[in-house]
Amino acid sequence: MEIWIATGNKGKLEEYKLTLAKFLEIKVYSQSDLPVFSAKPETGTTFLENARIKAKSVKALKADYWVLGEDSGLEVESLNHLPGVHSARYAGPNARDSENVAKLLKMMQIRSGANRQAVFKCMTVVYTPQNEELIFEGVLKGTISPKLAGVMGFGYDPVFVPEGETKTLAELGPAWKIQKSHRALALSQFLAKLKETTVIS
Ligand code: IMP
């Protein structure tokens, strides 16, 4: 089977490719493999709405194939669950990961509370070749470290310490993330569904 991942985020794509590499029957492509593609604005107010926007924009060009769109983000308890759907643009429309992380730490410092609880959420929408919509969700609980640590991954990985761990995702690296992250949890439900329907073995 051919699956098209509706993302322009290299970090995310890397994680999908690493997980799917062991399924030799699955060929992975992304929107950057399309000759012409322009991403639609993420105007949704929920992860699900934005995941649909992304998946549909690729499905419109790859109607006969499997298409996966995903929207994810970080919700911090003491910040009223922000940055949420704004995670990629928290510090501004074209903000770099380092700027988003700096803003997050600053906002948490302003709140000065001891509550550093946070969750990563991933909402995944898959369209089958027959255009059936499948929805999967993954959640990863953790805390926000006051200092950056680690160099692997992307986004908020350098400040997110998963529950039960003492290191950040950027220290734990891709081997940990492809087993246990919010993205991995949503993806494993999709893979289970594919196995159930014998698309893969
Ligand atoms: P999206 O591409 O609009 O879904 O943006 C998701 C944003 O949430 C990313 O740009 C990151 O800032 C953040 N994010 C989502 N998943 C992760 C992750 O696994 N690690 C670190 N940051 C993440």
Residue 197: per-residue pLDDT: 87
Is position 137 within any domain? yes
Report the separation in Å between the CA atom of 104 and the middle of ligand 1, taken as the mean of its atom positions: 13
Residue 106: per-residue pLDDT: 96
What number of other Cβ atoms are within 10 A of residue 157's Cβ?
A: 25
H or E, element range at 6: strand 2-6
For residues 50 and 170, give the distance between their C-alpha atoms in angstroms, rounded to a whole number.
25
Is position 201 within any domain? no
Report the separation in Å between the CA atom of 201 and the middle of ligand 1, taken as the mean of its atom positions: 30
Q: Which domain holds residue 47?
A: 2-196
Report the separation in Å between the CA atom of 64 and the middle of ligand 1, taken as the mean of its atom positions: 28
∠137-139-143 over CA atoms, to 5°? 165
Residue 198: per-residue pLDDT: 76
Is position 190 within any domain? yes
Report the separation in Å between the CA atom of 86 and the middle of ligand 1, taken as the mean of its atom positions: 9
Mutate to test the pocket of ligand 1, among 100, 156, 182 (most ligand atoms within 8 A of CB): 156
- Give the Å distances, CA to CA, from 201 to 89, 160, 179: 39, 34, 19
Residue 200: per-residue pLDDT: 76
155 contact partners, CB below 8 Å, separation of at least 6: 11, 74, 87, 88, 97, 100, 101
Residue 111: per-residue pLDDT: 85
Contact 156, 74 (CB under 8 A): yes
Residue 199: per-residue pLDDT: 75
Closest residue by Cα to atom 13, ligand 1, is: 73
The sign of the dihedral angle between the CA atoms of 29, 32, 36, 41 is positive
- Cβ-in-10-Å burial (0-12, 13-18, 19+) of 48 comes to middle
Contact 162, 172 (CB under 8 A): yes
Q: What is the pLDDT of residues 112-130, one digit of tens each?
A: 778 999 999 999 999 999 9
Q: What is the number of structural domains in the chain? A: 1
Task: Ligand 1: list residues with CB < 6 Å.
Answer: 9, 42, 71-74, 87-88, 100, 120, 153-157, 169, 181, 183
Is position 135 within any domain? yes
The enclosing domain of 88 has a CATH number of 3.90.950.10
Low-confidence ranges of the chain (pLDDT < 50): none
Residue 193: per-residue pLDDT: 96
Q: Which residues are known catalytic residues?
A: 71
Q: What is the pLDDT of residues 151-176, one digit of tens each?
A: 999 999 999 999 999 999 999 999 99
Is position 176 within any domain? yes
Is position 29 within any domain? yes
